[in-house]
Amino acid sequence: MSIREEVEAANRIAVERMMDSEPVWNNIGLARKLIPGMKDMMLLHAGPPVDWKNASGPLKGALIGACLYEGWASSDSEAESLLSSGRVTFEPCHHHNSVGPMAGVISPSMPVYQMEDKSGNKAFSNLNEGIGRVLRYGAYGSDVLSRLKWLSTTFFEVLSLALKELKREKPGLQFKQIIAQALTMGDDCHNRYNAATSLFIREMVPYMIRCGVEKKILLEVYDFINGNNFTTLNLGMATAKVMTMAAHSVKYSTIVTTMARNGTETGIRVSGLGEEWFTSPAPRVNGLWFPGFSAEDANPDIGDSAITETAGFGGFAMAAAPAIISWVGGTSAKAMQITERMYRITFTKNKYFLIPSLDFSGTPTGVDIRKVVKTGITPEINTGVAHKNPGIGQIGAGLVIFPMGMFENALRSFGRTYGLV
């Protein structure tokens, strides 16, 4: 086989494994118990590695909030000194088979969803807090901390019981199917999860009713889920993570298996290139701003949520979700163009994620670093935007085009690794 054929064959294996992964949600538990390598006084965060000095404002805010939430510090300045001294360590979620939206901070006593596929791979994500002033956008006020507390007690208990009830009937909740259905119902499953959350509710209600929890508590949890269409974002991200794990470590493969941003840098990892990160400075987001904010206030692009595009949905399925494009300031023609353009840098059309408005074409799936470099087209995604200062929260949403440098570096590294240069 020529090297070109080797790569094609490897990419086929990687992308087929990714598409055929059948993630099920089959556990919810504390991060310290479920996430591999999670230690006391350790935090996880979105994107590639970063140190305290270079951490972006919203990431700092979320790390501070997590120290307060864990009781490691009783003020933000105390938390800062813990974090800057290295007594509290922090590592990328992706180093622990995990993903978190925006700042993506996960601390040991936060509950996390576990998504497992038939290969036995397990991926994890934290719980969704809703929108506005929330930890993942860098806010850490008492409102934020008490919501996190409620999520880790009441919400966690009810969802645990409901999932236990569900598992009396089946191995778990098949989440790829929910995403596939939601894409036919106007979701992109990155920034619009209205349909996915509806479908999740439809599935879970019987188990929530049967699980034996008191009516008042049940209704409290139901109202929170029903009031937050981002409830399923984290489940969707964990689904994408376990799918992309299936595609990783295929020798010769040029398929991207991680795309993630920490607010300072954007990074990718590639199937055939092990655990190495290739990074570029995080780009600015072309956004629409909430009243009172402007581009000046915006932190550069942040979050692990680009795992959705890595797995073939989210922004790549924008044509399926014309409603999202208006939310980030575009037209439906632009939504179509983005999806069409992403076909040029991906390996194939997804077998399972279909776009009705493109006569059920599959979504662009499997970013190939060769195609990115050759075409000059980088992945384009949609995202929320955090204030650049810690402690504030979300200030808008928009579209972001990934930087080219990291793809070029990855391709050069590929050449060296496989003796092509």
Does 170 bind its own copies (CB under 8 A)? Our answer is no
Does 195 bind its own copies (CB under 8 A)? Our answer is yes
Residue 54 or 226 with smaller CB distance to its own copies: 226
130 closest CA partner among 30, 197, 42, 204: 197
Does 53 bind its own copies (CB under 8 A)? Our answer is no
Sole window of 118-126, 356-364, 378-386, 410-418 interacting with its own copies (rule: CB under 8 A):
356-364
Number of H helices, E strands in the chain: 15, 16
CB burial of 381-418 (b: ≥16 within 10 Å; e: otherwise) equals bbbbbbbbebbbbbbbbbbbbbbeebbebbbebbeebb
Does 322 bind its own copies (CB under 8 A)? Our answer is yes
Distance CA 324, CA 335 (A): 9
Does 323 bind its own copies (CB under 8 A)? Our answer is yes
Instruction: Identify whether the C-beta of residue 99 lies closer than 8 Å to the C-beta of residue 309.
Output: no
Judged by CB under 8 A, how many residues of this single chain contact its own copies? Answer: 32
Does 332 bind its own copies (CB under 8 A)? Our answer is yes
Does 15 bind its own copies (CB under 8 A)? Our answer is no
Residue 184 or 413 with smaller CB distance to its own copies: 184
Reduce the DSSP state of residue 270 to 3 states and report it. strand
Distance CA 346, CA 185 (A): 24
Amino acid at 19: M
Q: Restricting to residues 201-260, which ones interact with its own copies according to CB under 8 A?
A: 201-202, 205-206, 209-210, 215, 218-219, 222-223, 226
Q: Restricting to residues 172-191, which ones interact with its own copies according to CB under 8 A?
A: 184-187
CB of 291 to its own copies, least distance (A): 21
Overall size of the chain counted in residues: 421
Residue 77 or 326 with smaller CB distance to its own copies: 326
The strand pairing partners of 401, in sequence order, are 380
Reduce the DSSP state of residue 17 to 3 states and report it. helix
Does 288 bind its own copies (CB under 8 A)? Our answer is no
Residue 159 or 218 with smaller CB distance to its own copies: 218
Does 358 bind its own copies (CB under 8 A)? Our answer is yes
Distance CA 289, CA 308 (A): 23
Q: Restricting to residues 111-140, which ones interact with its own copies according to CB under 8 A?
A: none
Does 290 bind its own copies (CB under 8 A)? Our answer is no
Angle at 286 between CA 62 and CA 264, to 5 degrees: 40
- Residues lying near its own copies in the complex (CB under 8 A) are found at 184-187, 194-195, 198-199, 201-202, 205-206, 209-210, 215, 218-219, 222-223, 226, 321-323, 326, 331-333, 356-360
